[in-house]
Structure 1
Amino acid sequence: MMKFDDLLAEVNGFGRFQWRIMLMLVIPRLILPFHFLQNNFAAFIPSHHCNISAFDEGDVFRDLSSEEKLIVSIPVEEDGSFSSCQMFAEPQYHLLLNSSNTTMLPTVHCQNGWVYDTSIMKSTLATEWDLVCERKRLNKSTATIFFLGVMFGAAVIGHLSDRFGRKIMLLVSYLITSIFGFASALSSSYVMLAVMRFLTGFGASGVSIVSVVLSIEWADIKHRSSLLILLSMDWSFGGVLLGALAYLVNDWRYLMATSTSPLLPALIYWWWIPESARWLVSQGKIHPAYFYLSKCAKVNGRKQFMDDLKPEDLLKITALENENKKYSLLDLVRTPKLRRLTAIAGTVWFGVACSYYGISLNVSGFGLNIFVTQLMYGFSEVPAKIFCLFSINKFGRKFNQSGGLLLTGLCLFCNVIIPPDMAAFRTAVAAIGKMFSEAAFTVLYLYTTELYPTVLRQNGFGFCSFLARLGVAVSPLVALLEEVWVGLPRLLFSMMASGVGLLTILLPETNNTRLPETIEDVEQSKRLASTSTTNAPP
């Protein structure tokens, strides 16, 4: 019996038609790095100190220089910098003569707000609503709130995509992200911003997972990995563009609006994006599937093959069990192999995402300019993906996945022991770690789509993405542990990356195998176990 992959190979599974799909998805996918990494700039906390303008009422105070006003008003930290959250209860003029000891002087929390250094970012969430000092955790939580939206979006949109189709849910994702992305920029309070960011994340999740699955389901076996890696390049270049964009825009409201704008042209040309013929066949929708396959064959110069094929012949391509059955997330754990697969894959997704964003959301933690660090992070991912492009078929998915995670863990551990005064070296090691982490993340997207059958692919992908976004949501909270010990977050991220790198070994290899179509393909076929052996690295 002919499989769908055989049919796709006949109409050319990596021709002009597939390139056209990929190019149409690249522009809207730029919003992913823009929004996912936006907190590096929108929630940036600049240098700040208490507003001491209330002391200006005294004649002596008014005659002091700016530096002298700070000396008599703000206590000094151990590193010699002025305190960000404390001020003297009243001016201490004697400090102009001897400012060496301020520990015994009475201090109070900032009484009249803060003064911020706007030389890096003119406006951020921290400067807009004073999210510093005791409110600093609210500033950090904006990333967590966004990724909670991404997490729930992955589960909901993933399920609906398996039920109603890839194309319609792609449009829904575009609309949700556009509406609430622009609304975020117009937020008048922190609470409103939190709600808008949650809903933006909900929609952005669909843009991510639906576009990946739609692309993979139109690619043949031989070119699946190449197509996904090329598609994922938009994330790396988007990361570079984000650094430049934040530098030019320099205001959190304009940055959020600009980050959402790539969806506007995508909403216009969405009509020309084809539905997944593989999904249509799995749902028994033969005539729409035949229409899109004929279109693919025509564009790829294989029209004659489809002319010889009748719509009814598509029924013979694959025998799906219970064609009219509606599948849900529960089907991921009903059978033994799928249950084991889901448990392992979900854990790996959690660890990969948490450690990846542990690096990505820390552009200010290594001592260099945040715009330069973001550019370095973006550029570092390109060689990783080029390497994956050539190694993923030669050495297999498992080797690249596990190796990338173990090397990520090593780089993160190195940054725990490298002295803080070696800022440039620490940033370089972090960028290398991010390169390996991005390589692992890229492989994982392809790996997961190959592990799950067509009837549950979007459900499985959505569930894994749900756990990944849970990991991302936890990542900023883990970063708060630097208040206990500055190296603790990096140590935890290192252990997490290394742990799931070892866990990946338990997954089956999928290199050069057909995509499973049904649950029975996963449960009854022995190809997964045998493929793991035949494609192991030499």
Structure 2
Amino acid sequence: MKFDAILGEIGEFGLYQKLVYYALCINGATVACHMLAQVFLAGHMSHSCKVSAWDNEDCSRWDYTAEQCMEAKHNASVPFNYTKEDNMFQCYKYGIVDELDFHPGLDPENYNNTDLIRCNQGWVYDKSQYKSSIISEFDLVCSHKDRDSLAQSLFFVGVLIGSVVFGGLSDIYGRRKILFVALLVQSVSGLAIAFSPSYWFYTIFRMILASANMGVFLLSFIIGTEFVGPSKRVIAGIVIMIFFSIGYMLLALFAYFIREWWILQLAITAPIFIMFAFFPFLPESVRWLISKGRTEEATRIIKKAADVNKAKLPEPIFTPEDIKEQEAAATGRQATAIDLFRTPNLRIRTLNLMFNWFVNTLVYYGLSLSTSDLGVNVYIAFFISGAVEFPAYISCIFAIEYFGRKWSMFGYMVGGGIACLCTIFTPIGAWRTTVAMIGKFGISASFAIVYIYSAELFPTPVRSVGVGICSMSARIAGILAPIILLLDDTWEPFPVLIFGVMSIAAGLLVLFLPETRGEQLPETLEEGEMFGTKPKEYEVKTEPRFQYKNDANSGVINQAFDQEIEQGKVIS
């Protein structure tokens, strides 16, 4: 029997699959915490030059509070006409203050030497919001002020590496074993980061964590969804993203109550160890076992699932013909990325989809990592940014069935892009936050749709490699997102201008792609090249609504999905 037929016998999403799937979804929450933790680990702290001679003066003899004392010292060490945001205020001081005793009202301009020097004794940090962050820990200010963005870009380099390495290893050694390795690396590197002795130690181990983080999410998605029946698979793919949003919001709560960066890092690493408790009960991927000819092990897992689901299985589960067919499929010619660019229509669609994946990732992480710039409480803004993804994911499930993939994605991307542009003209505060969250809603929904749409547009032989190459372009966008956020030093609205324009451009380009809702999907490279160009050859054979259920019955999408997950190319 085909595995999808077996799932039809034991239940497409029975009790056994639910227990496995929801246990794996926990990883989605922990992955989100680490993916976005830099917002709080590198929380920006106002700072000014330290004057060591004044360290022991607490201003108690003048009845000053700690905040008043710090402010008085600031005013005494720099010119009065500079604002707190001014680079001169934060990175320079009067050279003569190192020789003066502090008292309220001290004005070095009354002395002959008013030369300014760079901070030569370190910095004093405002700890009213963050007790500590990597900014204060490693003095990432002034000439090193861009290093936190560099660390985040290198984090996404790790994500790129992880998506390739762990997917490849899981093809060779199995999903379950490599998931264990990824969890082990994720937990060990997470602990190491909390005790980083230097900036580069922190950055390198964040790269290692990012690689394992991606491996955990990728393999959790694969193991969980490939044991789910065809008609339930799309919804299952969305559910793990909802758990990602839960982790997003939990990070805001953790950060609100934990203001020391290294303790926060320990707090978001601790839940990883819960997964080790579940691990003995997690099965190996049945599809992977079948693809490797290990049908006896696959049979044991299937029978266990049938027992838990209280379902009966036919005998034998795998016939000699099934095994021969699987062996023939494994030894057949595999399509390559070159096949995507041989013919004009496939080439244009591939480039279009690569650009859309790139823009979705760029805007999603650009908005997620810049919530502290909205002019409201960073914890509230971050929590709302995660919460808005719930309705976004739910709405896109219905939108793609009622309005189609193309028009839904067009609406979400263009709407999100317009919202980004509107933030330029919206005052900082609640209104800007509201408009920015509209943009986040749109880009979150389109992020969910772009994988579904891509999987349908690519013909079966190149579907896995097509999604893989699109995912590569998305990872590059993740690397660039923190760098683009630095452009606000040139012009404050510059980053959101880029996000808005690119989102609208990508949305408009979607209109040049053919609709896939209700269509018989291409199964060969020739059909893929002609798809959408000659409508009569692709007459709708099923009801247009609930396309995935119909495609599940025909086996078109799910055969391709089997190929994708067996090759470790399903990357969200």
TM-score normalised per structure 1: 0.85
249-258 vs 162-171, which moves further: 162-171
Change (3 A) 1:466 1:164: farther
Correspondence for 2:94: 88
Query: Given residue 504 of structure 1, which amino acid in structure 2 is its aligned partner?
Result: V
Correspondence for 1:249: 258
Correspondence for 2:312: 303
1:71 pairs with 2:79: no
Distance (Å, rounded) in 2 between the aligned partners of 1:159 and 1:46: 41
Deviation at 1:490, TM superposition (A): 0.6
Correspondence for 1:324: 331
Deviation at 1:335, TM superposition (A): 6.2
Contact 2:49/2:90, CA 8 A, preserved across alignment = yes
389-398 vs 467-476, which moves further: 389-398
Correspondence for 2:159: 150
Change (3 A) 1:532 1:145: farther
- SS of the counterpart of 1:194? helix
Cα deviations across residues 35-93 of structure 1 (Å, max 9, x unaligned)? 111010001111111113446899x9x98963443323123466576722222233599
261-270 vs 247-256, which moves further: 261-270
Cα deviations across residues 3-33 of structure 1 (Å, max 9, x unaligned)? 6544433433222233222211122222211
Distance (Å, rounded) in 1 between the aligned partners of 2:104 and 2:318: 91
Change (3 A) 1:200 1:72: same
Deviation at 1:218, TM superposition (A): 2.5
Correspondence for 1:501: 507
Deviation at 1:145, TM superposition (A): 1.4
Distance (Å, rounded) in 2 between the aligned partners of 1:397 and 1:280: 33
Correspondence for 1:23: 22
Residue number among 438, 442, 446 corresponding to 1:436 in the alignment: 442
Contact 1:85/1:133, CA 8 A, preserved across alignment = yes
Contact 1:209/1:462, CA 8 A, preserved across alignment = no
Query: Given residue 267 of structure 1, which amino acid in structure 2 is its aligned partner?
Result: F
Cα deviations across residues 90-121 of structure 1 (Å, max 9, x unaligned)? 35999959999xxx964222221111111211
Distance (Å, rounded) in 2 between the aligned partners of 1:220 and 1:341: 29
Distance (Å, rounded) in 1 between the aligned partners of 2:524 and 2:327: 10
Contact 1:510/1:532, CA 8 A, preserved across alignment = no
Deviation at 1:311, TM superposition (A): 4.2
1:349 pairs with 2:354: no
Deviation at 1:205, TM superposition (A): 0.9
- SS of the counterpart of 1:90? helix
Correspondence for 1:480: 486
Correspondence for 1:233: 242
181-190 vs 455-464, which moves further: 455-464
Residue number among 185, 210, 217 corresponding to 1:176 in the alignment: 185
Cα deviations across residues 388-421 of structure 1 (Å, max 9, x unaligned)? 23333333443333322222111111111223xx
Contact 2:27/2:275, CA 8 A, preserved across alignment = yes
Change (3 A) 1:178 1:362: same
Distance (Å, rounded) in 1 between the aligned partners of 2:256 and 2:353: 38
Deviation at 1:314, TM superposition (A): 3.2
Query: Given residue 191 of structure 1, which amino acid in structure 2 is its aligned partner?
Result: W
1:273 pairs with 2:282: yes
Deviation at 1:219, TM superposition (A): 2.7
Correspondence for 1:121: 130
Distance (Å, rounded) in 2 between the aligned partners of 1:501 and 1:532: 26
Distance (Å, rounded) in 2 between the aligned partners of 1:136 and 1:353: 25
Deviation at 1:199, TM superposition (A): 0.6
- SS of the counterpart of 1:347? helix
Deviation at 1:163, TM superposition (A): 4.2
Correspondence for 1:45: 44
1:490 pairs with 2:496: yes
140-149 vs 464-473, which moves further: 464-473
Correspondence for 2:31: 32
Query: Given residue 469 of structure 1, which amino acid in structure 2 is its aligned partner?
Result: R
Gaps of 5+ in 2: 547-572
Q: Aligned pair count? A: 525
Contact 1:162/1:457, CA 8 A, preserved across alignment = no
Residue number among 157, 168, 172 corresponding to 1:159 in the alignment: 168
Distance (Å, rounded) in 1 between the aligned partners of 2:157 and 2:295: 38
Deviation at 1:130, TM superposition (A): 0.6
Contact 1:366/1:423, CA 8 A, preserved across alignment = yes
1:423 pairs with 2:422: no
Correspondence for 1:8: 7
Deviation at 1:127, TM superposition (A): 0.4
Contact 1:173/1:204, CA 8 A, preserved across alignment = yes
- SS of the counterpart of 1:87? strand
Percent identity over the alignment is 32
Contact 2:389/2:444, CA 8 A, preserved across alignment = yes
Distance (Å, rounded) in 1 between the aligned partners of 2:364 and 2:158: 18
- SS of the counterpart of 1:45? coil
Contact 1:395/1:536, CA 8 A, preserved across alignment = no
Contact 2:417/2:504, CA 8 A, preserved across alignment = yes
Distance (Å, rounded) in 2 between the aligned partners of 1:532 and 1:368: 52
Deviation at 1:179, TM superposition (A): 1.8
Contact 1:74/1:88, CA 8 A, preserved across alignment = yes
Residue number among 370, 373, 393 corresponding to 1:365 in the alignment: 373
Contact 1:363/1:373, CA 8 A, preserved across alignment = yes
Cα deviations across residues 424-467 of structure 1 (Å, max 9, x unaligned)? 11112112211221112222344455566888776655543332
Distance (Å, rounded) in 1 between the aligned partners of 2:200 and 2:456: 40
